[in-house]
């Protein structure tokens, strides 16, 4: 008696092909209730006018005898988040910033605040984040490529503190 059977090698190929088709038909996106890696908090306001931010910061800097520290960056920038976290988590850096600087986070995502970037000599050419120190009159004193403040996979607190000490107003 003869049966309609598929040769052994062909059956294996057919089974593999069926499994592949089944896998390809599954949805590729995760369901809405599936936990994912949490998004970074937005540290830059993507809708704020950088010119207005700087104007307000300069008024405060004049009144309080401080310098303005512009931090150009974007919410997608991992190094921007690392530097911002250091600014907030290192007690000495936080105190130095509070004592001597008015910090302004300038969003430059997708060309936002391009006029501000141009006004200060295109500091973003060095990458993100980049720091610009202004005196209380608004004159740019220093542009700092922050990779010079890095050590491995983080910003070095001692290098950041040395930079802040160097550019703090002389009192």
What pLDDT sits at residue 36?
A: 55
Q: Encoding tokens for residue 31?
A: 């369901």
Kindly state whether residue 158 falls inside one of the protein's structural domains: yes
What pLDDT sits at residue 29?
A: 47
The whole-angstrom separation of Cα 140 and Cα 120 is 7
Q: Encoding tokens for residue 102?
A: 């008015």
The pLDDT tens digits for 64-102 are: 999 999 999 999 999 999 999 999 999 999 999 999 999
Kindly state whether residue 111 falls inside one of the protein's structural domains: yes
Top-confidence residue, 12 or 143 = 143
Q: Encoding tokens for residue 50?
A: 């950088």
Average pLDDT in the chain = 87
**What is the number of structural domains in the chain?**
1
What pLDDT sits at residue 52?
A: 98
Strands annotated E in the chain: 67-73, 101-107, 130-134, 140-145, 150-151, 154-155
The pLDDT tens digits for 35-58 are: 455 678 999 999 999 999 999 999
Percent of the chain clearing pLDDT 70 (strictly above): 78
Kindly state whether residue 133 falls inside one of the protein's structural domains: yes
Kindly state whether residue 153 falls inside one of the protein's structural domains: yes
Kindly state whether residue 91 falls inside one of the protein's structural domains: yes
Structural domain range at position 157: 50-167
Other Cβ atoms less than 10 A from the Cβ of 26: the count is 6
Residues ≥6 apart with Cβ < 8 Å to 79:
73, 127, 128, 129, 146, 150, 155
- CATH assignment of the domain containing 99: 3.40.30.10
Q: Encoding tokens for residue 164?
A: 């802040």
DSSP 3-state assignment of 104? strand
* Residue 135 confidence (pLDDT) above 90: yes
Kindly state whether residue 32 falls inside one of the protein's structural domains: no
pLDDT average, residue stretch 109-127: 97
What would you report as the CA-atom Rg of the chain, rounded to the nearest whole angstrom?
26
Kindly state whether residue 26 falls inside one of the protein's structural domains: no
The pLDDT tens digits for 17-26 are: 454 455 455 5
The whole-angstrom separation of Cα 62 and Cα 104 is 15
Kindly state whether residue 71 falls inside one of the protein's structural domains: yes
């Amino acid at each position: 008696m003869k049966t309609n059977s598929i040769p052994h090698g062909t059956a294996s190929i057919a089974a593999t092909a069926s499994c592949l088709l089944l896998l390809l038909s599954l949805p590729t996106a995760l369901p809405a209730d599936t936990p994912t890696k949490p998004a970074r908090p937005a540290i830059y306001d993507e809708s704020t006018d950088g010119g207005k931010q700087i104007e307000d910061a300069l008024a405060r800097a004049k009144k309080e005898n401080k310098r303005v520290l512009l931090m150009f960056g974007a919410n997608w920038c991992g190094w921007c988040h690392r530097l911002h976290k250091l600014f907030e988590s290192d007690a000495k850096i936080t105190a130095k910033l509070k004592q001597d600087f008015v910090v302004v986070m300038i969003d430059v995502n997708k060309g936002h605040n391009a006029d501000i970037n141009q006004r200060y000599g295109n500091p973003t050419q060095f990458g993100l984040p980049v720091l610009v120190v202004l005196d209380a009159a608004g004159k740019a004193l220093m542009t700092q490529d922050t990779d010079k403040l890095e050590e491995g996979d983080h910003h070095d607190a001692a290098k950041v503190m040395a930079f802040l000490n160097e550019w703090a107003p002389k009192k």
